Amino acid sequence: MAFNITEIPQPHTIGSKEFIRLRELFDRSFKAARIGVWECSLPDQTLSWTDTVYEFFDLAPQTPLTRDEITKLYTPESLRQLTEVRDRAIRTGEGFTMDAQIVTARGNNRWIRITACVEFANGAAARIFGVKQDITTEKIMVEQLRHLAERDTLTGLASRTKFEIFFNEICAGGSQSARALLLADLDGFKSVNDTLGHLAGDDCLRGAGSRLSRVVPEADMIARIGGDEFAIIHPCSSADDLADIAARIVKGVNWTISTPTKSIRIATSVGAAIIVPGQSPKDIFAEADHLLYQVKSAGRNGFRIASPSLSVSGSMLIDDRAFNRRF
């Protein structure tokens, strides 16, 4: 099976024993790096693989290969991308590199990185060839890092980073759906940390996250954005709707932590504002945060909301006077 691997020294340049040793070293290095060589002749689509590529697809070496059968092992999206870049490469002569997901002959999910070059003869593509590398471990690590970046490790809710990205997109007008931002802060959390310890504080935060998920199941996002503060982005059609959502949060995230010597009530304060597309995310967040602070200053365990209204010129104004409720 000839793959024209030019990196391998040829016998006429070095002694045959040295050539064999280097060839074996090269093969072992490729195998250790989970890299295999492949070739597809054109136009008959005949495939040739090194043993490592067979391993990627969980096929025994020297198994008869037909391209139609092998492409069935690619996921639909990866096959679509592969077909697109491969056809372009054959047409233009330009190589490509892409990551593809496969489900092997034994049903294992695997990611491979395909690098391809095209060889022309008499003005037509004669073969396409290159290397395939198993990058499954790399993909898993990247996904784990992404998950860590997007999820709060304590509560399992969205992280502040993910919240900020989503919030900025909404404020930029990327969606036509009306939404609101609600900021919720736990009342009594400091007493839990100070008197029962940080492990009890962690349990309290997890409990708050679970309760929030139950009371606002239709929320687009629930995030822990720091300490005992949570942010909720929720579909919202009106000021009355927003008041109802805020009331559900205040009522639902309210419980008592009891020990043999002490009972601590956990309540919730909420500040909320309807998201106006095109308005600065900083301004909307500041408005909700200001209202949250007002609730806490007024005795906690309640909510205050801001609703947008139209001015004479048609621009949006914020009116936070009419909606202020304590429980």
CATH for 319: 3.30.70.270
pLDDT per position as a tens digit, 50-100: 889 999 999 999 899 999 999 999 999 999 999 999 999 999 999 999 999
Same domain for 163 and 291: yes
Same domain for 180 and 117: no
Return phi, psi of residue 52, to 5°. Answer: -60, -35
CB 265 within 8 A of CB 204: no
Same domain for 205 and 97: no
Q: Establish if 212 belongs to a structural domain.
A: yes
Higher-pLDDT residue of 323 and 251 is 251
What length is written for the chain?
Answer: 327
Q: Which of 113, 140, 167 is the last residue of a domain?
A: 140
Q: How far is CA 66 from the centre of its chain?
A: 35
Q: Establish if 14 belongs to a structural domain.
A: no
Whole-number average pLDDT of the chain: 85
**Ranges assigned E (strand) in 142-299:** 179-187, 221-226, 229-235, 255-258, 263-274
Task: Report residue 313's pLDDT band, with 50, 70 and 90 as the boundaries.
Answer: very low
Same domain for 240 and 218: yes
CB 35 within 8 A of CB 52: yes
User: Considering only 34-38, 160-164, 276-280, which range has the smallest mean pLDDT?
Assistant: 276-280
Same domain for 81 and 178: no
* Nearest partner of 55 among 105, 118, 90, judged by Cα: 105
* Helical ranges in 59-197 per DSSP H: 67-71, 76-92, 136-150, 160-171, 189-196
- Buried/exposed 74-111: b ≥16 CB within 10 Å, e otherwise: beeebbebbeebbeebbeeeeebeeebbbbebeeeebb
Q: What pLDDT does residue 24 have?
A: 64
Q: What pLDDT does residue 318 have?
A: 38
In angstroms, rounded to a whole number, what is the distance separating the alpha carbons of residues 68 and 72? Answer: 7
Higher-pLDDT residue of 109 and 278 is 109
Question: Residue 133 is part of which domain span?
Answer: 33-140
pTM of whole model > 0.85?
no
Whole-Å CA distances, 174 to 64, 169, 235: 50, 6, 14
Q: Establish if 26 belongs to a structural domain.
A: no
Q: Which of 140, 170, 204 is the last residue of a domain?
A: 140
Whole-Å CA distances, 136 to 52, 69, 129, 251, 278: 14, 22, 22, 46, 41
In angstroms, rounded to a whole number, what is the distance separating the alpha carbons of residues 65 and 302? Answer: 68
Question: How many separate domains does the chain show?
Answer: 2
Same domain for 75 and 55: yes
Same domain for 211 and 113: no
* Nearest partner of 184 among 320, 266, 292, 274, judged by Cα: 292
Same domain for 183 and 93: no
Q: Which of 106, 140, 174 is the last residue of a domain?
A: 140
Q: Establish if 302 belongs to a structural domain.
A: yes
Q: Establish if 11 belongs to a structural domain.
A: no
Return phi, psi of residue 108, to 5°. Answer: -85, 140
